[in-house]
Amino acid sequence: MGKKAIIVVWLVALALTLFRLADAQQQKRVPRIGYLSLMGRPNSPVPSIEAFRLGLRDLGYVEGQNIVIEYRFAEGKRDRLPELAAELVRLNVEVIVAGDSAAISSAAQATRSISIVMSVSDDPVGTGYIASLARPGGNITGLSNVSVDLAGKRLELLKEVVPKLSRVAVFGPTRNPDWTEFVNAATTMGIKLQTLKVRDSKEFEGAFELARRERAAGLIVLPSPLTNSYRRQIVTLAAKSRLPTMYPLEEYVEEGGLIAYGPNIPEMHRRAAVYVDKILKGRKPADLPVEQPMKFEFVINLKAAKQIGLTIPPNVLARADKVIK
């Protein structure tokens, strides 16, 4: 064999070796995802994150072994979210999981190329994050905690807690997908609705004062990034006004609110892992329909009921998924 032939054979062998090494490296590559949240602190137990990790484990992912998660927590400081989202973009993570509505906004502003999975979202279509639930159309998909059946059910449960309920104040931002459903349900039940539209937290006290003046006998808080970010303030104002209040999430009741009916939030965070898995396997967010909640919970706080002098009917109490004493 001539010298040139030997060199050619050597080069071919070298190329094949390098190709195999590169292929082996590619197979061993561990996907890196980001987790962005307004609430929470590093190294502190967070139920939503534990649920997300459980979802990953169900799919065969073990953190630190075959998947890496970069956590970024704003610790309740909304103004920190944009920089934290930018950090995840600079790390070139393959997916950003947004743990709450505030995180979705910052992640969406930070990137249009990296896939974003919403663990929960109050109104992803109305806020412009996606084109539609069936076909999101961009780099964002995941789960929405809004369901058209929720509004009527919340009003129905509030009336069962307050049987003589005839006038209900509805508290929240001016644009909300539940509003039409509330109007339809109220008409069927013979209840008059009073709208308490708020654009920021400075308008909260004035809205509650208006509810008192108009003699509202109950209150429903609409889910939104604004109301969810000021849960404690809203719960405090409701108690001060002695208004039986229906909240959209269990977290309000844990803060001292009266009752809540809404989706099982840990279950939604667990389901977010399914979207991460699909995206890592090559699916595009634009083609993954946004999922609406499947499980709902009715939660009652008896201490809050006692505080406003309200007795929960026994038949209603018996139907609660959780009772806080």
Q: Which residue has the higher pLDDT, 24 or 65?
A: 65
Query: Which CATH number belongs to the domain containing residue 194 in this structure?
Result: 3.40.50.2300
Residue 310 and residue 177 share a domain = yes
d(CA 107, CA 228): 18
Arithmetic mean of pLDDT, 22-48: 75
**Per-residue pLDDT at 206 exceeds 90:** yes
Residue 155 and residue 107 share a domain = no
Predicted confidence at residue 148, as pLDDT, reads: 60
d(CA 70, CA 90): 12
Q: Is 22 part of a structural domain of the chain? A: no
**Per-residue pLDDT at 325 exceeds 70:** yes
User: Tokens at residue 30, please?
Assistant: 């561990």
Tell me the one-letter amino acid at 185: A
User: Tokens at residue 134, please?
Assistant: 């069936």
Residue 269 and residue 237 share a domain = no
User: Tokens at residue 123, please?
Assistant: 């109104």
Q: Which residue has the higher pLDDT, 8 or 168?
A: 168
Residue 37 and residue 159 share a domain = no
Residue 126 and residue 177 share a domain = no
Q: Is 9 part of a structural domain of the chain? A: no
Residue 183 and residue 132 share a domain = no
Predicted confidence at residue 321, as pLDDT, reads: 94
Arithmetic mean of pLDDT, 191-195: 92
Q: Is 18 part of a structural domain of the chain? A: no
Predicted confidence at residue 40, as pLDDT, reads: 76
Q: Is 11 part of a structural domain of the chain? A: no
Tens digit of pLDDT for each residue in 77-106? 889 999 999 999 999 999 999 998 889 999
Q: State pTM to two decimals.
A: 0.77
N-term to C-term CA, the chain: 89
> Which of 1-5, 208-212, 233-237 has the lowest average pLDDT?
1-5
For every residue of 44-73, DSSP letters joined together read S--HHHHHHHHHHHHTT--BTTTBEEEEEE
Q: Is 6 part of a structural domain of the chain? A: no
Arithmetic mean of pLDDT, 35-45: 80
Tell me the one-letter amino acid at 287: D
Residue 180 and residue 134 share a domain = no
User: Cα 202 to chain center, whole Å?
Assistant: 24
Predicted confidence at residue 17, as pLDDT, reads: 60
Predicted confidence at residue 14, as pLDDT, reads: 59
User: Tokens at residue 109, please?
Assistant: 């502003």
Predicted confidence at residue 294, as pLDDT, reads: 80
Q: Is 20 part of a structural domain of the chain? A: no
Tens digit of pLDDT for each residue in 114-160? 999 999 887 888 888 999 999 999 999 999 987 666 888 999 999 99
Residue 253 and residue 278 share a domain = no
Predicted confidence at residue 24, as pLDDT, reads: 45
Sheet with 322-324, side-by-side order of all strands: 192-197, 167-172, 218-221, 245-247, 259-263, 296-301, 322-324
Residue 308 and residue 176 share a domain = yes
Arithmetic mean of pLDDT, 299-303: 97
Arithmetic mean of pLDDT, 218-228: 86
Strand partners, 66: none
Q: How confident is the model at residue 9 (pLDDT cuts 50, 70, 90)?
A: low
Q: How confident is the model at residue 176 (pLDDT cuts 50, 70, 90)?
A: low
**Per-residue pLDDT at 25 exceeds 50:** no
Q: Which residue has the higher pLDDT, 173 or 67?
A: 67
CB neighbourhood size of 39 (10 A): 17
**Per-residue pLDDT at 8 exceeds 70:** no
Residue 137 and residue 156 share a domain = no
Mean pLDDT of the chain: 88
Q: Which residue has the higher pLDDT, 36 or 12?
A: 36
230 contacts: CB under 8 Å, gap ≥ 6:
201, 204
What is the span of the domain harbouring residue 316?
Answer: 150-263+296-324
Predicted confidence at residue 227, as pLDDT, reads: 85
Q: How confident is the model at residue 31 (pLDDT cuts 50, 70, 90)?
A: very high
The count of structural domains within the chain is: 2
Residue 58 and residue 120 share a domain = yes
Q: Is 173 part of a structural domain of the chain? A: yes
Tens digit of pLDDT for each residue in 252-300? 999 999 999 998 888 999 999 999 999 999 999 999 999 988 889 999 9
